[in-house]
Structure 1
Amino acid sequence: MLVQDFLNNWVSTYGKYNLKVTTSNEYIRHINQYVNPRIGLIEIENLKPLQLQNLYYELLDSGRQRGDLTKPLNAKTVLQTHRILHKAFKNAVQLELINSNPADAVDLPKKKKYNYNILLGQDLKDFIESFKGTHIYNGVMLALLLGLRRGELLALQYKDINLTEHDVIINKSVVNGKGFIKLDTTKNDSSNRIIALSDDMMKFLKVIKDNALNNSEESFIIQNIRGEMYNPASFSRLYTWTRDNRNLPKVRFHDLRHIHATILYQNGIKAKVIQERLGHSNISTTLDIYTHLFKEDQVAAAEIISDKIFY
């Protein structure tokens, strides 16, 4: 069996029953773009770690397929390709197609930590103000107020708002399929959560509802111009186009989630509460992402200890 035959079969069977639609599509893209053209014609029982290692080096050097092709492929993309192959070949071992997993014995590139573009204070207020009057404004505001992932935001319906308890339940996400969009489960079990809302947030949601094209309980809070569920890709394109057309700072839509967390932490909210609000599966994820914030606490801790011991 050729590597490409195994991988194509694996992602169409294992992926169908074990992966979310968006994850399965990502696996297919990585396999088709990065793997099959390079090692797809090797017989799977003959695949060696060296060939995988060379695949990763080649991807780092010349694997880029969009944008500036002279730039190397991001190490994060290569690492994701490795994770996919490691999972696939692990299954191949279980099925007794190969004796060992060749992905176990390769050196991996180090992922560069993404530098989030964080706006605070007046810079953030100016950024928000620039979106007023645009179709994307409500989405920007709710992303900042609630710290939601894009899919979670677009899946919000009026029935998810608890008017009595002043909170909102997050229990679904909008995902892109091949030529369609649909409601799916959230990223993981921890992503199912209830987020408290302030009085001002409740008033803002009421304004959105009063001005919505469709405002039944089943309607989506962030809806397209037809009053329907938003395509996540279309939503992101509109956000980016609006941002760039107005010459605003290059803040990714996902950065709004990090701005939300940064504001909370800088105003004394504990990391555990931030974790629960963001829907991270464990506290280590939150601590890892916001290491730059916790370093400030380390300095403060050193000063406190120093004061108590030396003085």
Structure 2
Amino acid sequence: MIDQLYAQKLNEGRSNAYVKKIHNLLSKALQKALKWGLIQSNPSKDAAPPSIHKKHKQVWTLDEAKGFLKVCEAENCLALFLVALFTGMRRGEILALRWNNVDLEKGVIHVAEALARTKAHGLKPKEVKTAHSERAIFLSPSLTEALTIHKQHQTDNPLDLVFPSKKGTYVEPRNLLRMYKSLTEKADVPYISFHNLRHTHATMLMRSGENPKVVCERLGHARVSITLDIYSHTNEEMQRKTAERFDQNFWT
């Protein structure tokens, strides 16, 4: 019956990833029922959800990222996109960020909220979804300097937002995306989704040989295995370089 459900959803045009989410949720529910003694076995363990062929995340090269930031500086919007590229924060986390969660002296951002759209109240900050998403992200010297300058140029800011709109309210996410697309065109760099700035940050860290545990904590992943799974192609590059370094160090 479970396999028939998966086949039905696929025939309806649902993606493999969507059906895999159904499988994961169903498996957890049945496992809880097994623990409570309501069933004798978990039938989802014998079901066959569709496999997911993961595509490599499209990211910028170092030169492309630098070219983009150069245009951002010329357009007086450098700080926001520096935060995106230098911290790996999600769009909602950036737009909900308040100065009371930014410690410029210690050089750290405390991620506690994310901007979300609600039917009742429109754009509204909410607590981040998981305990792992609530995290401290340490800042590089150049980012700390950029945020310091950005704060000095702010005037009226009733919501204490790091990146308010011109009216002092939350920035409409669609307006941010329009601005972002315009900047990529001016910089003449390949268009990637705003979320892929997060992937660009993580990929650069992984390729530089950074500890995956540190990358995991900066991104707010629950487990290192999730980070390594998402950036498996980058992890392969790291493994190859490690083998080459061992060989070089051994014989020299």
8 Å Cα contact 1:243/1:249 also seen in 2? no
TM-score by length of 1: 0.66
**CA apart distance, 1:237:** 3.5
Larger mean CA deviation between 126-135 and 169-178 belongs to: 126-135
1:13 is matched with none
Amino acid in the other structure paired with 1:263: M
Amino acid in the other structure paired with 2:126: D
RMSD in angstroms over aligned alpha carbons?
3.4
> Counterparts of 1:164 and 1:131 in 2: how far apart (Å)?
25
> Is 1:142 aligned to residue 88 of structure 2?
no
Larger mean CA deviation between 80-89 and 162-171 belongs to: 80-89
> Counterparts of 1:136 and 1:74 in 2: how far apart (Å)?
37
> Counterparts of 1:85 and 1:243 in 2: how far apart (Å)?
43
> Is 1:58 aligned to residue 15 of structure 2?
no
> Is 1:205 aligned to residue 147 of structure 2?
yes
> Is 1:128 aligned to residue 69 of structure 2?
yes
> Counterparts of 1:308 and 1:135 in 2: how far apart (Å)?
47
1:12 is matched with none
Unpaired runs of 5+ residues, structure 2, are none
Larger mean CA deviation between 98-107 and 125-134 belongs to: 98-107
Aligned equivalent of 1:171, options 92, 109, 112: 112
8 Å Cα contact 2:206/2:238 also seen in 1? no
> Counterparts of 1:296 and 1:188 in 2: how far apart (Å)?
30
1:281 is matched with 222
Q: How many residues align?
A: 250
8 Å Cα contact 2:79/2:143 also seen in 1? no
**CA apart distance, 1:142:** 1.1
Unpaired runs of 5+ residues, structure 1, are 1-47, 64-72
2:97 is matched with 156
1:108 is matched with 49
8 Å Cα contact 1:157/1:219 also seen in 2? yes
1:271 is matched with 212
> Is 1:188 aligned to residue 141 of structure 2?
no
Q: Call closer, same or farther: CA 1:226–1:93 in 2, change over 3 Å.
A: farther
Between structure 1 and structure 2, the one with the greater Rg is 1
> Is 1:237 aligned to residue 172 of structure 2?
no
> Counterparts of 1:220 and 1:285 in 2: how far apart (Å)?
31
> Counterparts of 1:202 and 1:58 in 2: how far apart (Å)?
51
**CA apart distance, 1:230:** 2.5
Amino acid in the other structure paired with 2:219: L
- Identical aligned residues as a percent: 28
